[in-house]
Structures are given as C-alpha cells and as structure tokens.
Amino acid sequence: MPHSSVLPLGTLVALGGGDDDAMLALLCDLLPSLDTPVEIITVASRDASRTAGAYEKALRDLGCRNARHLPINEHYRADAAATLRRLRRAGLVFFSGGDQERITDFLHNTEFLQVLRERYRQEATFIVAGTSAGAAALPDTMLVEGYGWRAVRKGGIQTKAGLGLLPRLLIDQHFIERGRFGRLAHALIAHSMCLGLGLSEETGIIIRGGQEVEIFGDGVVVMIDGCHQEGNNLGRIGRGEPISVQNLRVNLLVAGQRLNLKTRQVLAEVSAEGPREE
C-alpha cells in the first residue's frame, strides 16, 4: 500500500492477548456513544461463532447495545453488499485472536479492506482494534512464524503483508509470555526501518492520529528500534546460521507512558509522583 504523508485521523487499539476485559471496557469508553455500531470480526478464530458470541455478550454487558458479529469466511465474502454496508456504518471494527494469516487471506485485495483503510485515514471517530492475532495483522507487515532458538537463525522467522494500517511498525503479541524477543529482533534486522512493539498479555497500545502511542494494561510493552543497527550479517550467512546485529535500541514501557512514532522518543515516564515530561 502506498503511504500517504497525511497522518490518519482514526484511532487504533491493539492488545497482546490474554484476558481482554479491560480492553473491551476501554473501547466502550472510546466510542462516541454506546449506541455506536460495533462490528466483531472473528475470521482468525478456529471457533468463530463461539468467539463472536462471547464478545457480543461481553460488549453488551458493558452497555454497547449495537455490538454484532460480522461473519467473514469461506461462506461470507468480505465484499458482499450487506457486509460493506455494515462496515461503512460501524464506529468500531474489532478483530479477534487466532491465526492472523486467515485475516489477510480473506481481506487482501478486497473493497472491504480499501474502505477500512479509508475510514481509518479520514474519520476521527473511527476505531480499529485487535487482540493477539488481530493486533499483529494491523500494520503493513506482520510476523507469522518464529519459535524459540530457531528464531535467531536465518530463515527462522517469516513475515507477510498485514492490513496496511500502520507503516514501518511491527506488532508481536503474547510477547513476554512466549519468549518472542528473538523473532521480533530478527524481523527488525530484515525490516530495518520498522519499529517493533512486543505486547505482553493484558497489555496494549492506543494509537491516536497515527503518531502518538499510549500504553495501557498490567504488563510491559517491549519497544525495539532497528533503524540505528550495525553489523547485520543476514546477507552474508546461509540458512540456519545464527544472526548477528549491534545497536538495536530496546525500551520497556508500561501503562501511562507515551511514545512518538515519528521521533521514536518516549514522551513521559511513570513514577511514584505521576507522569513526568522528559
């Protein structure tokens, strides 16, 4: 997707997986009204109907009266007229967890994805959210493979095109719990201009206007900046050999801290006395 120099007006929310009750409450608070249509997309899930039912109930219990499952799968096309009508009316589109490749398999090269991107770019009240796989799929590039010690050997990870809502950003999920530092670092060696955000479970980010990130939740967001890296050996080694790089920059961020995506600077620190501007 070609990148516009104009920052998007919409809001994006991503969670690293795990218990998402706090994220759902946050999303309800962000909506202009509790009557705002919310579309729940569970194409990533192996049990899409059951997952959708659980989210519908949770959101309605929080007061979101118009939360509904929007089925997209082998039987329900993303570009069906009724599906596109619902997308155009929605105030929030929420992607559940599961397999992120299923999300892009069904949405790439569709009018649905074009409309989603346009609304995110142009409408200040529009929200796109995802948890786990739904979070990983949101940027231009998404991680789809990479496990354990193999993740720090050439060929040990795989990336694919994501939904194209966030340029030069990689989001990984279940980050601390599943030991995914190696695979995100490897991905940033291969995509050196990207910023990596590893989201712990029950921990996430709010991105307003495409530029400022705010951390929320109980855990840690690991930020890895690869743009100053040196000594990248990927071009000199064979498949299966260990990777090497120097000067990756790593920050650990917690709830209340903010990050400027353009400058990659942390904007506030959390202390006993409260946030402090740097």
* DSSP-derived secondary structure for 125-185: T-EEEEETHHHHTSBSEEEEE--GGGGGBTTS-EEEE--SSBTTEEEESSTTTTT-HHHHH
Q: What is the pLDDT of residue 6?
A: 84
Distance CA 197, CA 258 (A): 13
For the stretch 212-227, pLDDT in tens is: 999 999 999 999 999 8
User: What is the DSSP-derived secondary structure letter of residue 7?
Assistant: P
Q: What is the pLDDT of residue 201?
A: 98
Residue 169, token pair as written in the block: 């950003």
Distance CA 93, CA 35 (A): 14
Residues in contact with 247: Cβ distance below 8 Å, sequence separation at least 6, in sequence order: 228, 229, 230, 231
Distance CA 164, CA 172 (A): 15
Distance CA 209, CA 196 (A): 19
**Which pTM value belongs to this model?**
0.92
| Closest-CA residue to 253 (of 196, 185, 211) | 196
Q: What is the pLDDT of residue 277?
A: 47
Q: What is the pLDDT of residue 267?
A: 87
For the stretch 86-115, pLDDT in tens is: 999 999 999 999 999 999 999 999 999 999
The phi and psi torsions of 210 (rounded to 5 degrees) equal 70, 5
11-258 topology per CATH? Rossmann fold (3.40.50)
What tens-digit pLDDT sequence spans the chain (278 residues)?
A: 445 568 999 999 999 999 999 999 999 999 999 999 999 999 999 899 999 999 999 999 999 999 999 999 999 999 999 999 999 999 999 999 999 999 999 999 999 999 999 999 999 999 999 999 999 999 999 999 999 999 999 999 999 999 999 999 999 999 999 999 999 999 999 999 999 999 999 999 999 999 999 999 999 999 999 989 999 999 999 999 999 999 999 999 999 999 999 999 998 665 445 444 44
Q: What is the pLDDT of residue 269?
A: 61
| Closest-CA residue to 174 (of 119, 223, 135) | 135
Residues in contact with 116: Cβ distance below 8 Å, sequence separation at least 6, in sequence order: 87, 93, 107, 128, 163, 165
